Amino acid sequence: MDMPFPSVLTSVDEVRELYRQPSKVAAGKVIDHVDETSASFIARSPFHLLATSHADGRCDVSPRGGPVGFVKVLDEKRVIVPDLNGNNLLDSLQNVIDNPQAGLLFLVPGRDETLRVNGRAWLTTDDAILDLFVDELRRPKLAVAVAVDEVYLHCAKSFRRGGVWSPETWSPDEAPTGGELITGQLGLEQTAAEMEGYLEESYAVGLAEDSPV
């Protein structure tokens, strides 16, 4: 395959030559279970990113949000993510079927550090598991069940470089809206404002469907 970029590195040794060796703390920070402090972090997280990949290696990262603590830690080796209302493309779910591995990156608003959880993934419709979510959410159709292989802290540098939680760095009005992105990407006849109205309506409907009955 022709390389679309110049000066491409093709071996780990080439990459390692560019970087210093990791510190002992960094090299030894990975544990194989959800310890008490990691469980506490997950319990305070209203948002995470779910990474999966197709059998052919194509990757996907999906944002997942819910009430604080909507992801459940069953025990030190098992984490459960409810599948809530989405676009119904089912990209992440299909990937789990094709390649049962997942990576999760948990965020807590205001915290610069994040928590990474990697492991083997399954889709479950077990009644006892789905019933865990009915107090704060509608009962999900299924959940992504992750058997934990790795848990580790991701340092604060990326969030601090980006000023992620610093309002003075925010400029949302300068970024394209969802309506502008969709109409620009797909060349739709609707105006961006019309598409924005459609999106807001769909968001309201979808969020209402996620609320407990």
Where residue 92 sits, what CATH number does that domain have? 2.30.110.10
Is 1 a member of any domain? Answer: no
Helix, strand and coil content of the chain, in percent to the nearest 5, comes to 35, 25, 40
Q: Is the pLDDT of residue 213 over 80?
A: no
Whether residues 132 and 178 share a domain: the answer is no
Whether residues 36 and 122 share a domain: the answer is yes
Whether residues 42 and 65 share a domain: the answer is yes
Whether residues 100 and 73 share a domain: the answer is yes
Whether residues 175 and 158 share a domain: the answer is no
Q: How many helices (H) and strands (E) does the chain have?
A: 8, 7
Burial degree of 167 (CB within 10 A; 0-12, 13-18, 19+): exposed
Whether residues 179 and 158 share a domain: the answer is no
Whether residues 179 and 156 share a domain: the answer is no
Q: Is the pLDDT of residue 61 over 90?
A: yes
Work out the average pLDDT over 118-136: 96
Work out the average pLDDT over 168-176: 96
When pLDDT is cut at 50, 70 and 90, the band that residue 79 belongs to is: very high
Is 176 a member of any domain? Answer: yes
Is 59 a member of any domain? Answer: yes
> What's the pLDDT at 66?
96
Mind listing the pLDDT tens digit for each residue in 87-108? 899 999 999 999 999 999 999 9
Instruction: List the domain range (segments joined by +) for residue 175.
Output: 171-210
- Choose one of 162, 184, 199: the last residue of a domain: 162
When pLDDT is cut at 50, 70 and 90, the band that residue 26 belongs to is: confident
In the chain, the number of structural domains is 2
Whether residues 88 and 111 share a domain: the answer is yes
Q: Is the pLDDT of residue 1 over 80?
A: no
Whether residues 139 and 197 share a domain: the answer is no
Is 46 a member of any domain? Answer: yes
> What's the pLDDT at 3?
84
Q: Is the pLDDT of residue 17 over 90?
A: yes
Q: Is the pLDDT of residue 37 over 70?
A: yes
> What's the pLDDT at 69?
93
Distance CA(64)–CA(124), nearest Å, equals 17
How far does the chain reach from its first CA to its final CA, in angstroms? 53
Whether residues 150 and 187 share a domain: the answer is no
Q: Is the pLDDT of residue 112 over 90?
A: yes
Contact indicator for 81, 50 with CB cutoff of 8 Å: yes
Work out the average pLDDT over 201-205: 95
